[in-house]
């Protein structure tokens, strides 16, 4: 059993293949956290320690016993207002204006299968990967506020999921000021916080910060998970590396405002908590109502960051992503944006599609500019009707012609936005998020639609459905090109504006769920000016996300390196683009651009009709190699062999099939230098007792030799040179 309860000791134990998580019903029905780490199937309640500490209050029931305090105990779900002054998970306002919640254990339930969350993304079980659920119910007996703590145990991946349902069983409304999803405590303070910061066109940069006696916070208040901070973080032992040491990962399955906080308390204990950002969050829960927090997936590794990443990669690929393209090979696509920008028509697109199909590319994506009067980014968002004067055809005629030359057709949408210069805005200005009597804040000269409104959600769905019903469109690029400011909805009174941010995300998920159900054959790729909404919540609805608007192969080394810690290659949208690169002006070899783009869902972002003959031949070779290794790249184990932050000479990575019979090694040099050093790289994940051949050559290498002695790399001639090696078990 993955979940056990010891009635005598009042002890819950959650077990995965390699980890244990233990909870104790403590004194006065408090819910205490005992342990999370390497597998230990033993009663660990001896770890609880007490002491009379000044200024650390005691529960009323303790009477004269001053040794037990909620301010010093490790807890499962901390609350504010009852004597614990550290990071809280739950802050409330009661009818009398008090700000306190005192949760005590009430009951529990263990069941086979994985709980699911209404209207929110959630990890799910399959026939092969089964799960168990623990629900621990706690209650504040004064207000009858009930909190159900949900734990999902995914044994095979060493993953435990957390969520909470907050129910008002009382007679008066309660307002939530903070409702986090998870809390995790440690009796020590030897951690670094690894997080992934950035900006537009340089997302998910790696940062490692020591945790100390002050709160560290990673967060977004932009209405989306953001380019600036990602809702995936790691607590790592100070000595942890890629292949050694303890580390804990936390992935928030949510696409809106979030906060991850960690602090070391006065006696050297560490508390971590994660959930919806409390800024401008004020959620009313009326008698009989329930508020559900989003899910956090967490995992522990005693074998370093590499193993932790593998746990999350498998979880996301197999038990979070859904639909046809979860397992089906996704088409290699070409997007016309950097080829034409707004200047295109059907004839241009068909010419690109025809040449692309001859090179083995399988889908043409028509990007921004096909609708309304859209010749720049100042107008027509919201008017999702084809501009036949510009295009020269209907969407059906375009799709038929693109299909006829051997390509599928995909289309770009930005459904959550509207321009003031649009028919939609002129007809429904009240459909926007906008504070009355204040000037509007524009970004990319566009305004955010109010997805809390049912009529707006219906309009967005119907607009997209009309296009999908009219033609053979097999892909949607769903974009979102600004942060959300002026958060005010005309659908809510002054007492409920604090619900808008969260209700907006629920509205977004509702639309995407409906599209997935009604058009299961359509592949949806997420985008938010590239990687601004790259999170596990979106991957529940969209199995891949455009990793960054920056397609420069050298910059992508860092972007894709950081992304790989929490997300699999199969989720990473990555393309070969033209040079000089449109974001950096840098020129890199065509081959190098292909090698880097293959660490993702492979495609192109250029005009193939403008390429040289040798470049077209390279496309044929790249496409053939990618198709040949698709399963390996997208389903194999991914290894970060070198870091672009630490190794100034080259970046290398490797994917290995689960049966260890084949591997793909990729190496990109940064710059070349005179009289250069000799270089080698140590491979990982192979069978040390097996013999392998590289790129079909006769020479054989043992797995042990390649992993422990290393593989010798060539010396580069010229900057940004790349090499790729297909490694296969010798026959």
Enzyme catalytic residues: 535, 615
Say if residue 714 is exposed, middle or buried (CB neighbours under 10 Å; 0-12, 13-18, 19+): exposed
| 595 torsion bin: left (phi>0), alpha (psi -120 to 50), beta (else) | alpha
* Close Cβ partners of 454 (under 8 Å, ≥ 6 residues apart): none
Query: How far is residue 625's CA from residue 574's CA, in Å, rounded to a whole number?
Result: 16
| 424 torsion bin: left (phi>0), alpha (psi -120 to 50), beta (else) | alpha
Contact indicator for 516, 524 with CB cutoff of 8 Å: yes
Query: How far is residue 442's CA from residue 439's CA, in Å, rounded to a whole number?
Result: 9
Torsion of CA 672, 678, 679, 680, to 10 degrees: 160
Report CA-CA distances (Å) from 592 to 552, 574, 644.
10, 13, 15
Sign of CA dihedral 342, 344, 346, 350: negative
- Per DSSP, 229 falls in state B
* Close Cβ partners of 595 (under 8 Å, ≥ 6 residues apart): 553, 666, 668, 722, 723, 724
Tokens of 64: 């004269």
Strands 258-264 and 216-220: antiparallel
Element (H, E) at 309: helix 305-319
Tokens of 412: 């770009």
Question: Would you list the DSSP string of 145-202?
Answer: EEEEEEEEEEGGGTEEEEEEEEEE-SSS-EEEEEEEEEEEEES---EEEEEEEEETTE
Query: How far is residue 452's CA from residue 500's CA, in Å, rounded to a whole number?
Result: 7
| 510 torsion bin: left (phi>0), alpha (psi -120 to 50), beta (else) | alpha
Sign of CA dihedral 386, 504, 527, 329: negative
Preceding amide of 580 cis, omega within 30: yes
Query: How far is residue 724's CA from residue 592's CA, in Å, rounded to a whole number?
Result: 9
């Amino acid at each position: 059993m993955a979940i056990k309860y010891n009635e005598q000791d009042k002890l819950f134990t959650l077990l995965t293949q390699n980890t244990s998580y233990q909870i104790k019903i403590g004194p006065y029905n408090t819910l205490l956290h005992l342990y999370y780490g390497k597998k230990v199937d033993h009663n660990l309640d001896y770890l609880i320690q007490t002491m009379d500490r000044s200024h650390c209050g005691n529960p009323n029931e303790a009477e004269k016993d001053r040794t037990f305090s909620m301010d010093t105990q490790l807890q499962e779900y901390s609350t504010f207002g009852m004597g614990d002054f550290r990071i809280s998970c739950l802050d409330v306002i009661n009818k009398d204006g008090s700000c306190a919640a005192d949760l005590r254990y009430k009951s529990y339930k263990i069941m086979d299968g994985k709980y699911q969350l209404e209207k929110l993304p959630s990890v799910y079980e399959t026939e092969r990967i089964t799960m168990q659920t623990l629900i621990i119910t706690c209650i504040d007996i004064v207000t009858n506020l009930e909190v159900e703590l949900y734990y999902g145990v995914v044994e095979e991946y060493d993953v435990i999921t957390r969520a909470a349902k907050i129910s008002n069983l009382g007679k008066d409304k309660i307002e939530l000021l903070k409702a986090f999803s998870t809390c995790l405590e440690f009796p020590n303070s030897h951690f670094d916080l690894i997080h992934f910061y950035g900006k537009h066109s340089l997302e998910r940069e790696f940062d490692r910060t020591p945790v100390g006696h002050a709160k560290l916070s990673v967060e977004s208040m932009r209405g989306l998970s953001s380019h600036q901070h990602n809702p995936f973080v790691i607590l790592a032992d100070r000595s942890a590396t890629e292949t050694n040491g303890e580390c804990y990962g936390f992935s928030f399955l949510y696409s809106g405002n979030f906060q991850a906080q960690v602090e070391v308390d006065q006696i050297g204990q560490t508390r971590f908590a994660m959930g919806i950002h409390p800024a401008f969050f004020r959620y009313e829960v009326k008698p009989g109502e329930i508020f559900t927090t989003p899910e956090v997936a967490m995992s522990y590794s005693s074998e370093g960051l590499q193993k932790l990443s593998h746990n999350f990669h498998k979880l996301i690929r197999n038990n979070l992503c859904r639909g046809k393209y979860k397992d089906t090979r996704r088409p290699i696509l070409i997007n016309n944006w950097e080829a034409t920008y707004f200047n295109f028509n059907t004839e241009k697109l068909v010419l690109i599609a025809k040449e692309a199909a001859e090179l083995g590319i399988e889908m043409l994506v028509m990007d921004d500019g096909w609708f309304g009067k859209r010749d720049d980014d100042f107008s027509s968002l919201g008017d999702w009707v084809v501009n036949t004067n510009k295009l020269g055809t209907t969407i059906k005629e375009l799709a038929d012609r693109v299909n006829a030359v051997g390509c599928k057709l995909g289309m770009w949408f930005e459904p959550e936005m509207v321009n003031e210069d649009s028919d939609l805005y002129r007809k429904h200005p009240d459909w926007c998020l906008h504070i009355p009597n204040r000037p509007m804040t524009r970004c990319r000269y566009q305004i955010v639609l109010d997805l809390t409104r049912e009529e707006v959600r219906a309009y967005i769905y119907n607009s997209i459905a009309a296009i999908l019903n009219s033609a053979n469109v097999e892909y949607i690029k769903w974009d979102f090109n600004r942060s959300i400011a002026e958060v005010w909805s005309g659908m809510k009174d002054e007492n409920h504006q604090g619900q808008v941010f969260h209700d907006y995300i629920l509205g977004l998920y509702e639309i995407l769920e409906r599209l997935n159900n009604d058009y299961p054959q359509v592949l949806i790729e997420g985008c938010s000016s590239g990687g601004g909404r790259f999170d596990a919540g979106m991957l529940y609805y969209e199995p891949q996300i455009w990793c960054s608007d920056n397609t420069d192969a050298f910059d992508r080394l860092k972007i894709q390196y950081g992304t790989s810690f929490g997300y699999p290659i199969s989720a990473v949208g990555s393309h070969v683009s033209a040079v000089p690169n449109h974001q950096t002006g840098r020129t890199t070899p065509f081959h190098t651009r292909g090698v880097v783009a293959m660490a993702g869902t492979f495609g192109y972002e250029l005009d193939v009709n403008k390429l040289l003959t040798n470049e077209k031949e390279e496309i044929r070779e790249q496409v053939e190699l990618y198709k040949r290794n698709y399963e390996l790249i997208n389903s194999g184990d991914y290894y970060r062999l070198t870091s672009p932050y630490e190794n100034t000479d080259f970046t290398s990575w490797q994917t290995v099939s689960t049966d260890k019979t084949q591997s793909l090694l990729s190496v990109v040099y940064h710059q070349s230098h005179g009289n250069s050093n000799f270089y080698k790289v140590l491979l990982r994940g192979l069978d040390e007792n097996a013999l392998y051949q590289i790129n079909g050559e006769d020479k054989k290498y043992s797995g042990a030799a390649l992993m422990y002695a290393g593989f010798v790399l060539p010396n580069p001639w010229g900057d940004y040179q790349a090499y790729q090696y297909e490694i296969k078990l010798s026959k």
